[in-house]
Structure 1
Amino acid sequence: MSPKDTIPVRQGEELDLDKVEQLIREHVSGLSDDPLEVEQFFLGSSNLTYQLRIGDWEAVLRRPPHGPVAPKAHDMEREFNILKEINPHFPVAPKPYFFYSNEEEGKPFFVMERKKGVVLDSNMPEEIKLSEKTNRDISEAMVDTLVQLHDIDYTKTNLKNMTKPDGFLERQVHGWISRYERSKTDDIQGVDELTRWMAHNIPETKESTIIHYDFKLNNAMFDQNDLTQLVGLFDWEMTTVGDPLADLGVAMSYWQESGDSELLKKGLGNEPITTQPGFMSRDEFIEAYAKKSGRNVTNMNFYQTFAYFKLAVICQQIYYRYKKGQTQDQRFAKLNYFVENLIEYALYSLNRKAN
């Protein structure tokens, strides 16, 4: 979320500026008399985010998308409370300022710290030049950040009362299998084998930690003058307490390599920068994580298999909506091919020897 990532607020997505400014002045002291200025971040396709400015003070407002949302999805109050618990221990997580239930409109929001830096994505600024060494250092920073997050003692936070770590992995595996069955449209070769194997090979969780569960490069922000320094980590909506290796598996499902299929690299848009020379391979990332965390990763083939399947189900749910005429967005017309490719990679991970 660098300054170039903001645009004028899109029509139909305006905020009640008087109410927002009133709430800001109630919760934040020392502000100037300048009026509230608002722009919108154009990155992201789920929750809506806005840049707020009063004089030199800046912040970010985060709220759910317009229209009906699924139960438990886009839970702004939960995300606000998660950030409130994590930020004191992990400052790359934005500091939250206040939550507003907005019962009148039914669209709650919260306001949080504005981080400054650059998001390294396939559409990053042209002036950013990456070398092989820089790419390696960025990879190391991502590993270090994940290890640091997993090292937080969640029992010293209120997350111990907000989450249910016992049985986490079992609930996840069976829950995502059920979601796939409910959104199934085409017969995909190998799915039955895959789901049976996952259901019967759930590893024992050795420990539970705070997990981000959407840990990927374009959710991270780096210092624009030192791309080895990670200064922000965003999108804490899926954060919970569970198996840290499940978090690592999800991270690896987004971490593409140059040797991956074109469909896997471009199935969600432009090819990610992790395919460029210097970035760690998935195996190197896992090995570095194991070395720095001290955790045993011999069952990573299960976690990677499940992560690819989970991503396949997310895409299948979108394709199901398109197939049923619930959306006319032509970007989703061939998403079924990407789902098949993800299932193929899940089967490949299943059959790999454990690291």
Structure 2
Amino acid sequence: MLVNLQINKNTISSWVLALFTFSLIIGGLASEFFQAPVTTTKELEKYRQLLTSEQLDTFSIIQFKNNLGQFNLEKNDHWLLTAPRRIDANIKTIDIIKNAIGSLKIRKIYPKDTINMSNFQLESPSLSLTLQNKTEKKTIHFGLINSIDNSTYLTLEGLDAIYHVDNILPKLERLSLPDFVDSRIFTMNITDIQSFKIFRQNEQSKTRLEILRDEDATWSGPKGKLNSGTVETYLQELLTTKSNYILDSRTQEQQEKIDQYLSKPLYRIVVETKENKSINYDVSYIFTTLPDIKLEKKQNFIIRASNRQHPFIVHKNALELFSKRQRNFPPLTIKKLFY
């Protein structure tokens, strides 16, 4: 009797262990079957790298589309916004786009099938970006934003994969036309300037102001060294001068009036860069009106730059910056040169 009882206990224990093992196997298979289909197959592992920084630097055409519009950009000598308006493009915005794409961190890869395309809202993308050069074209579509873990989903045309990535859309979804327009009058930095001159009307007239960069990165005038702090404060203020209006769409009547105002400019500025490029800026007198443009009378002047497509309208308060003379930058005395 004792022996039979022991046998029964052993049999029951064996069955319990077998059932537990079987349950684990079934649970594992079920979990594997029903979990989200994260791709780990060799066929999709090659898609782990989206776009390299080297690739991003080669693209010369960008088509950007979000809920605020579509913006086309093209690079020849420099970046231009070609649609919806043709105007110089803001390189900072282009860098924001490229850096956002270059910084993408891929969390998971899913198969690009009908169910996943629908679930991740990629059939009607919230943002699309096309990058193109002479040999390749890449189009990226962004879909669902997961606010819980701050992620989103995207596809890259030509690849059968859906990427689950960190959410970069806040940097891109609010970009609008003003972000793509370079409204700067002066496109260089102080460190780019080799020489800076102001003439009354043109180069044939007497030089009002001449500032030269020396080999030791200090500044000089015709009569010797200048106070570098004073020079750089002035140049920084000048370089950040803003325009009230970019005349990118001009009627023939407006163009004729602009040409008239600038036929004999009030000042001409000539900037030589370290790359041996010469850029001219013609500055008009304060003008009364321009046809079909609502402006206060005698409150603005026009600047036309040789390296920009369109002239600028600037408020008269900034005119003082363009009228500086050599006496505003006296040479340093011998005592100040050594102390």
TM band (smaller chain): under 0.3
Which structure has the highest strand share of the two?
Answer: 2
TM-score of the aligned structures, taking structure 2 as reference length: 0.24
TM-score of the aligned structures, taking structure 1 as reference length: 0.23
Q: Comparing both chains, which one has the higher relative contact order based on Cα–Cα distances under 8 Å and sequence gaps of 6 or more?
A: 1
Structure 1 or 2, whichever has the larger Rg, is 2
